[in-house]
């Protein structure tokens, strides 16, 4: 039954993609946009991909996009949208994502006249996502939403396409999302955030890890099982805290490090807009 449902959604998505004369996919490197890019390229003759590089994009995401581009034969455009030259973005307001996506879609629009598509899925629509307003302003279309495809549907489609590594790829929003709303985005600190998460992934193999920058210090969020393991092994916790503090101290950051349970989007403070 589940396979039949996946085939049905796959067929609907295929029809939507084939209804356009040409497609430009905005590819972040995550499972949603990567799966869309693979499918679009395999189902359409006139497709090109756009991947943005900036301090907010983990190098691993860019490497993943480039590897798939070589393997699948994509027409890949690497662009620099310039959001780090936009003071509205750097101030990290509650609608930071709006300014990020406005810069992104404006840059893509300079390079193509094809219909720009995003990997936004049905689950995203219910959240507060200022970037969707930017997409609307630039007439970006969301084929997953049109096909009634949610996150788990995307993963099933990825498996259906034999993209098993993509199907299991954990969610990983941009590195700026690790910075608490209202704290200015510092392009120097974002690579450190990424290195900390890579370090913890290597040493702990957690299901989920986030390095948050908060007004009260550096907070490492881990899935419950991994967090309990760290808290029970005091020597491990002390060693990790020292390693993390040293990474930040090299760039002049001297905040204390604490460990907490993972909470999705916990650095995003909606009330910050109201002071």
In the chain, % of residues over pLDDT 70: 97
Measured distance CA(32)–CA(123) in Å, rounded? 11
How much is the average pLDDT of 88-96?
97
Q: What is the pLDDT of residues 51-78, one digit of tens each?
A: 999 999 999 999 999 999 999 999 999 9
CATH number of 2-167: 3.40.50.620
The pLDDT of residue 275: 40
Instruction: Give helix then strand counts, H and E, for the chain.
Output: 13, 7
Which pTM value belongs to this model? 0.93
Confirm or reject CATH 3.30.300.20 for domain 175-274, answering yes or no.
Answer: yes
Q: Would you state the pLDDT for residue 172?
A: 85
274 pLDDT band, cuts 50/70/90, is very low
Please give the share of the chain, as a percent, with pLDDT higher than 90. 89
Does position 166 have pLDDT exceeding 50, yes or no?
Answer: yes
CA atoms within 13 A on the CB side of 54: 24
Task: Say what the alpha-carbon torsion angle 218, 223, 226, 227 is, to the nearest 10 degrees.
Answer: 50
List the chain domain ranges.
2-167, 175-274
pLDDT tens column, 22-45: 999 999 999 999 999 999 999 999
- Locate 94 and state its tokens: 């509650």
b/e burial code for range 112-125 (CB count within 10 A of at least 16 → b): eebbbbbbbbbbbe
Give the length of the chain.
275
Judge if 2-167 and 175-274 fold alike in CATH terms: no
H helices of the chain, where?
Answer: 2-18, 31-43, 59-72, 87-90, 96-111, 122-125, 131-137, 143-146, 151-160, 164-167, 190-204, 224-232, 234-249
CB 42 within 8 A of CB 182: no
**CB neighbourhood size of 130 (10 A):** 17
* Of the candidate ranges 74-88, 141-155, 244-258, the one whose mean pLDDT is the lowest: 244-258
The 8-class DSSP code of residue 179 comes to B
Handedness of CA 40, 41, 45, 51 (dihedral sign): positive
Taking only the tens place, the pLDDT of each residue in 198-239 is 999 999 999 999 999 999 999 999 999 999 999 999 999 999
Q: Write phi, then psi, for 259 (nearest 5 degrees).
A: -120, 135
Residue 254: its pLDDT value, please?
Answer: 87
The CB-side HSE value for 140 (13 A sphere, CA atoms) comes to: 26
């Amino acid at each position: 039954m589940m396979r039949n449902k996946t085939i049905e959604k796959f067929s609907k998505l295929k029809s939507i993609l084939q209804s356009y004369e040409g497609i430009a996919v905005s590819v972040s490197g995550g499972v949603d946009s990567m799966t869309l890019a693979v499918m679009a390229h395999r189902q359409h003759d006139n497709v090109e991909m756009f991947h943005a590089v900036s301090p907010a994009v983990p190098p691993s995401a860019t490497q993943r996009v480039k590897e798939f581009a070589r393997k699948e034969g994509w027409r890949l455009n690497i662009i620099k949208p310039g959001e780090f030259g936009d003071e509205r973005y750097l101030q990290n307001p509650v609608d930071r994502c709006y300014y990020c996506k406005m810069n992104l879609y404006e840059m893509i629009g300079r390079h193509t006249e094809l219909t720009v598509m995003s990997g936004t899925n049905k689950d995203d629509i219910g959240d507060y996502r200022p970037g969707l307003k930017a997409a609307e302003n630039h007439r970006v279309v969301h084929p997953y939403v049109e096909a009634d495809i949610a996150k788990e549907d995307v993963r099933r489609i990825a498996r259906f396409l034999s993209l098993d590594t993509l199907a299991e790829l954990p969610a990983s929003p941009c590195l700026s999302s690790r910075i608490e709303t209202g704290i200015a985005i510092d392009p120097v600190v974002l690579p450190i955030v990424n290195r900390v998460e890579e370090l913890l992934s290597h040493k702990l193999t957690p299901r989920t890890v986030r390095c948050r920058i908060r007004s009260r210090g550096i907070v490492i969020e881990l899935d419950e099982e991994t967090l309990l393991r760290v808290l029970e092994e005091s020597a491990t916790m002390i060693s990790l805290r020292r390693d993390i503090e040293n990474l930040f101290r090299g760039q002049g950051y001297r905040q204390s490090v604490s460990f907490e349970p993972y909470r999705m989007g916990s650095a995003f403070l909606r009330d910050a807009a109201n002071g």
